[in-house]
Structure 1
Amino acid sequence: MTITPHPLVARAQSLADRLLAPEAARVDQEEVPAGHLEAVRRAGLLGVSAPRAYGGADAPDSVAREVAEILAGACCSTWFVQTQHHTPVKLLARSELPVRERLLRPLSDGSLLAGIAYAHVRAHPRVPVRATAGRGGWRFDGTVPWYTGWGLNDVMLLAGVDERDEVVFAFAEAREQPGVRASAPMRLAALTAARTVSLQLDGLWLPDGAVVLRTPRERFALVDIPRSANTSPAVFGVAYAAVRLLAQAREGADAADALRARLDAVRERAYALADHPVPHEHVDDRLAVKAEAYDLMRAATTAAVVAGGGRAMDLRGPAQRLAREGMFLLVQGQTEPVRRVHLDALARGDG
C-alpha cells in the first residue's frame, strides 16, 4: 500500500491514530458521536474533493481514496456517516442551479454536514419515492428505505422519480418536519452506530430552489452503473486494518505478508480502472476486480479472527468488529450487476 505525501492524508492518519481507532470499539457498541464528525471537519476532510474557491481542498481522487481507506480502517461507522457528504458536494459543484450558491460553500468547508437519500432510485421499475411537480416546487411521497446519519446530518440530498421517468434531486433539512417521519434507528449486524433510519415521506414540499439536478432515469443509470462497479476504498481500508492486526499475532506474520501483497496488487488494478478517462468502459473488469477485493477483505478479516482465537469473540475486540464491518461492505451500495458477479465468483470458488 502506497502512502500519498499529501497534508490531508497526514491529517487523516493522525485523526485515525489519536481518536478514531482508539474509540472504535466503544463507538461500534454505541453511536457515532458528533465530536468525531467535528474532528473530521476540523481536519479539512469534509472538503477533500470540494472546489477550492468554495473552501474545499480540490484534492486528486487518489488523495480522497486514501483518506477514505484510513478513516474506514480506523472506524468504519464514522467513515460511513461522513462519506455520505461527498456526493452532494460533487453534485453541487457540477450544478448551475441557484442551490449551488446557497449550499456549496457551507458543505465544502464543513459548516453543514450532508446525507444522501437516493439509493432507492436503483429499485427500478419500482418507484419507492415519487416526485410530483406543483406550482413553484415539488412534492415527495413514498419511503426512503435507508438513510444514514439521522440526527447528525444538517441536510439531505433526496431523490424521487416523476411521471416522466425523470429523477429529481433536491435538498431538504435532515429533520422531522411536515411530510417527513423517521423510523427508530435500525439495529444492524454492523454499523448500527451510524444512525440509519428509514424515512416516510407524505407530502414533503420542496421549492424549485432546492432542486440541484433533474435527469432522465436512464441517464442516471448510465452514470450510476460504472460508479457502483468500482471498488470502494473502504474495502481496502478494512482489509488492511485486518492485515495489520493479523501481523501482530504470534503466528500471523507470514499470512499477513501474503495477504498484504495480494491486496496491493488488487488495489492497484482497482484504482487504475477507477481513474480510466471513460467511466462507463471496462465495467466487466471493474466488477471482476471488485469481487476479488471482496474476497481478499473476507480472507483478511477471517484470518484476523482465526489468529485472535477466543479473544476475537469479545465484542470489544477489533477482529470481530472488522469482520462484521467487512460483511456490511459486501452489501453497501450493492446493485444487481454487482450481486450477480459476486455470487458467480463465489459459486466458482474464486471469490
Structure 2
Amino acid sequence: MTTARTAFPPPHPLVVRARRLAHEVLAPRAEEVDQEGIPASSIEAVKRSGLLGVSAPVEYGGSAAPAAVARETAEILAGACCSTWFVQTQHHTPVATLATCELPVRERLLGPLARGELLSGVAYAQLRAYPRRPVRVTRERDGWRFDGTVPWYTGWGLNDVMLLAGVTDADEVLFAFTEARQQPGLRPSPPMRLAALTAARTVSLELDGLRLSDDSVALRAPYDVWAAGDRPKSTNASPAVFGVAAAALDLLDGDPDSEETARALRARLDEVRQQAYALADHPVPSERIAERLACRTRAYDVMRAATTAAVVAGGGRSMDLGSRAQRLSREGMFLLVQGQTAEVRAAHLRSLSR
C-alpha cells in the first residue's frame, strides 16, 4: 500500500536566488552592517541576483514575476538584513514608473534598471505633504527647475540614479530622473544617525535650482490623479513586516522554554499574512480600505510580539549591540513608521487605544 504525498511546486527561481543571497551574503553580515553601513559588495551582490528586475518587463531584461514572488523575495531579504532590503526596495518604484511610461526616458533607463546594471533610489514621499510643497517645480525654457527640501533620501552613496518628484504651480506632480550625486542645485546633508537602519545611508537633500531636462521626465500628472493611485498602496501590510517577524521567531528555535510561544506566534503570523496578501491581490486597490488598515495593524502586533519574544528569550545578551534579537527589534520599530501616511498613523493609533 502506498501513501499519497502532496506535491508542492518548486520555488520560483528568484525565490531560490533570494534565499541564497540571504544565506550567503546578507544574514552573515547583518549585525556588522547594522553598525558600520552597507558595503558596496552587498549592493553588487543584489545587482547580480536578478532581484532588481523581479517585476520588470521581460523584454527589458526583467522577470515579470507574479506579485506573490515579489512579496516572498522581499520577506526573505528583509528578514536577512532589513537595511539592505530597504535600499533595494526603493528601486522597484522607478522600475514600475518606467514600465508604464511612454516618454523617452523609458528606453534610456528601464533596461539598465531591470537588469540590475543601475540601482535607483526615490525622492517623492514629500508629495504626501500636499497642499504644502516641500519641493517646487517650475518650467524653464528647456526643462524644469527643482527647489526645496527632500526630507528623506535613502541609499546615498549606494544608488546610481534617483527618481525625484515635486509639485508645479499648476498642481501637477512631476517625476524626473537624475544622477544620485552632489551636483549644481543638489546638496545632501550628512548621513542621518537613526535608531535603526542608519546603515541604509539616509540623507536629506537641499534643492536650489536643480535643472533637469525634458528627456529626464518619467511622469507628469494632476496631483489628484496621482494621489488617488498612491493612497491605497500604503494601506497594505508590508512584506518586510512578515520577514522580520519570521526571522525573530527563528531565533526561538531549539529553546524549550520558547517552544509554545513560537508555535502560537507562527500561527498568528501565518493567518495575518494570508489575509494581508489576499487583500493586496484584490482587483480594486481602492476598495476594502478599512480591512486593509486593520490587517496592517494586526501585522504590526504580531511583529512586535515576535521581536519582543526574541529579546526576552535572549535575556541580557539582547542588550549587546551585536545581538540579532535587538537588531530585529529595532528594525521592527522602523517598520512601524516606514511608508506611514496620516491615514495609516490614525488607524494604528486607534488600534492601540482599544
TM range (shorter): over 0.9
Task: Detail structure 1 runs of 4+ shifted over 6 Å in the superposition.
Answer: none
Aligned length: 347
User: Could you give the per-residue CA deviations for residues 218-275 of structure 1, whole angstroms, max 9, x where no partner exists?
Assistant: 1121111110101110000000001111224341111111100100010001001101
Shifted more, 37-46 versus 255-264: the winner is 37-46
- Relative to structure 2, which stretch is displaced further, 140-149 or 16-25? 16-25
Q: 1:191 aligns with which of 190, 197, 217?
A: 197
Please, what TM-score do these two structures have when normalized by structure 2? 0.97
Q: Which residue of 2 aligns with 1:206?
A: 212
Correspondence for 1:319? 325
Deviates more, 1:195-204 or 1:32-41: 32-41
CA distance in 2, matches of 1:3, 1:274: 22
Partner of 2:69: 63
* 161, 173, 177: which one aligns with 1:171: 177
Q: Is the 8 A contact 2:52 2:91 kept in 1?
A: yes
Partner of 1:111: 117
Partner secondary structure for residue 169 of structure 2? coil
* Conserved 8 A contact 1:249-1:308: no
Q: Provide the secondary structure at the position in 2 that maps to 1:168.
A: strand
**How far apart, in 2, do the equivalents of 1:310 and 1:121 lie?**
43
- Is 1:131 the counterpart of 2:130? The answer is no
Give CA-to-partner distance per residue, 1:186-223, whole Å, 9 cap, x none. Answer: 00000000000000000000001000001111112111
- For residue 128 of structure 2, what is the aligned residue in structure 1? 122
Amino acid at match of 2:17: R
Amino acid at match of 1:100: R
The Cα offsets for residues 321-345 of structure 1, whole Å up to 9 and x where unpaired, read as 0000000000011000000000000
8 Å Cα contact 2:276/2:296 also seen in 1: yes
Q: Aligned residue for 2:29?
A: 23
Preserved contact between residue 156 and residue 174 of structure 1 (Cα < 8 Å): yes
Q: Of residues 159, 172, 180 in structure 2, which corresponds to 1:153? A: 159
Give the Cα–Cα distance (whole angstroms) in 1 for the partners of residues 9 and 308 of structure 2. 25
Deviations 1:128-169 (A, max 9, x none): 000001112000000000000000101000000000110000
- Report the Cα offset of residue 307 of structure 1: 0.6
Identity of aligned residues (%): 69
Q: Which runs of 5+ in 1 are unaligned?
A: none
Q: 1:95 aligns with which of 80, 101, 117?
A: 101
2: CA distance between counterparts of 1:105 and 1:23? 30
1:108 maps to a residue whose letter is A
Q: Name the residue aligned to 1:33.
A: 39
CA distance in 2, matches of 1:135, 1:276: 44
The code of the aligned residue for 1:197 comes to: V
Per mean C-alpha deviation after superposition, the further-off stretch among 248-257 and 39-48 is 248-257
1:303-336 CA deviation, whole Å, 9 max, x = no partner? 1001110011111110000000000000011000
Alignment equivalent of 2:309, drawn from 303, 308, 314 = 303
Aligned ranges 1:228-247 → 2 under 5 Å: 228-247=234-253
1:288 has 2:290 as partner: no
Secondary structure of the corresponding residue to residue 185 of structure 1: coil
CA distance in structure 1 between the aligned counterparts of 2:172 and 2:9, rounded to whole angstroms: 42
**Superposition TM-score, scaled by structure 1 size:** 0.97
Counterpart contact for 2:47–2:119, Cα < 8 Å: no
SS at match of 2:253: helix
Contact 1:4 1:63 in 2 (8 A): no
- Give the distance between the partners of 2:295 and 2:78, measured in 1 at CA: 20
